[in-house]
Amino acid sequence: MKIAVTGKGGAGKTTLASALALEFKEQGKQVIIVDCDPDANFSICLGFPLEEEIVPISEMKQLIAERTEVESLDTPSTFFKINPKVDDIPDKFCKIHNGIKLIVMGKVSKAGSGCMCPENTFIKRLISHLVLRKNEVVILDMVAGSEHLGRATAANVDVALIVVEPTQLGVVTAGRIKSLVKELGIRMSFFVGNKIESEQDRDFLLKNLGNEFLGFIHLSESLQANRGVFKFDDNLKVEFDEIFNKLYTLSN
């Protein structure tokens, strides 16, 4: 199954994606997480050791230059290879911890995030390759605009999960992302309500976004106390099990 997790910054994308990775791993699935968020905090959330040694793909300038056949990424290039070789990248650069693979894409430091440049071209090509890989659950932790998710790639994503907080800004942003996901051609998309403190919060989201929710996650003191490292508590386990079981049903 190929899953894109998106939402407003700070809504809880990484928390949801981490929980799903652990759930799929418990089921014996091979899991690879693709961290497309410039903040790149998955390694912390899942307790990867030596976090500072994880080099984002976008910072591997010599590799990208060689694969896109340009002399240097420091000077603008009009001509470069648009289908660079990427099939060996996951095995070479994925980090593995507790059976979960992680690859960090990083940020392309160019004016205009959607630029047609060797770095963006390489990353988009790599994401497309990962989405098409067989026998793996691929979880994409996307920035809100899903800038690296082109239409051809999106067509092979099974489901998009849009994480939303119970605020007016949250529902407006989630609605916009829902429209973008539909335009990209992702076949299924659902909301996941996060940081729910009351029945009123849940009702607010349902009233504003309808019934397309896969589940709701309460505002967890234990998650806050863990300083960014994800761990299930009993209540979280119940809530994430419900979300996971619905996803697992969809995949079968």
For 158-198, what is each residue's pLDDT tens digit?
999 999 999 999 999 999 989 888 888 888 999 999 999 99
The pLDDT value given to residue 109: 54
Average pLDDT over residues 42-66: 83
Measured CA to CA, the distance from residue 182 to residue 186 in angstroms comes to: 6
Segment 72-98 mean pLDDT: 86
- pLDDT value at residue 113: 43
Query: Is residue 146 pLDDT above 50, yes or no?
Result: yes
Distances 158 to 4, 190, 244 between C-alpha atoms, Å: 8, 11, 14
148 within a domain of the structure (yes/no): yes
User: For residue 232, what are the domain limits?
Assistant: 2-51+97-108+134-251
> Which of 46-55, 98-107, 160-169, 191-200 is predicted least confidently?
46-55
Contacts of 76 (CB under 8 A, 6+ apart): none
Tokens representing residue 117 in the block: 């440049």
**Nearest residue to 142 via CA among 30, 14, 55:** 14
Whether 145 has a pLDDT exceeding 60, the answer reads no
User: Taking 80 as the threshold, does the pLDDT of residue 242 lie above it?
Assistant: yes
How far from chain centre, in Å, is Cα 19? 12
The answer as to whether 69 is a domain residue is no
User: What is the residue type of 11?
Assistant: A
Please name the helix (run of DSSP H) or strand (run of DSSP E) that holds residue 41, with its range, or none.
none
> Which of 96, 110, 94 is CA-nearest to residue 55?
94
Decide if 179 is inside a domain. yes
Cα(216)–Cα(11) distance, integer angstroms? 12
Domain presence at residue 32: yes
Domain presence at residue 115: no
**Residue 64 placed within a domain:** no
Q: Give the mean model confidence (pLDDT) for residues 3-31.
A: 90
**Integer Cα distance of 7 and 173 in angstroms:** 7
Q: What is the mean pLDDT of residues 207-220?
A: 93
User: Residue 115: is its pLDDT beyond 80?
Assistant: no
84 in Cβ contact with 122 (< 8 Å)? yes
Alpha carbon distance 65, 108 (integer Å)? 14
Task: Look at the chain and report how many structural domains it folds into.
Answer: 1
Of 123 and 63, the structure prediction assigns the larger pLDDT to: 63
Note whether 90 and 81 are within 8 A (CB). Answer: no
Domain annotation covers residue 62: no
CATH number of residue 209's parent domain: 3.40.50.300
Closest CA to 147 of 123, 182, 174, 172: 123
- The string of pLDDT tens digits covering residues 24-40 is 999 899 999 998 876 65
Rounded mean pLDDT of 39-52?
75
CA angle 65, 69, 75 (to 5 degrees): 55
Asked if residue 129 is part of any domain, the answer here is no
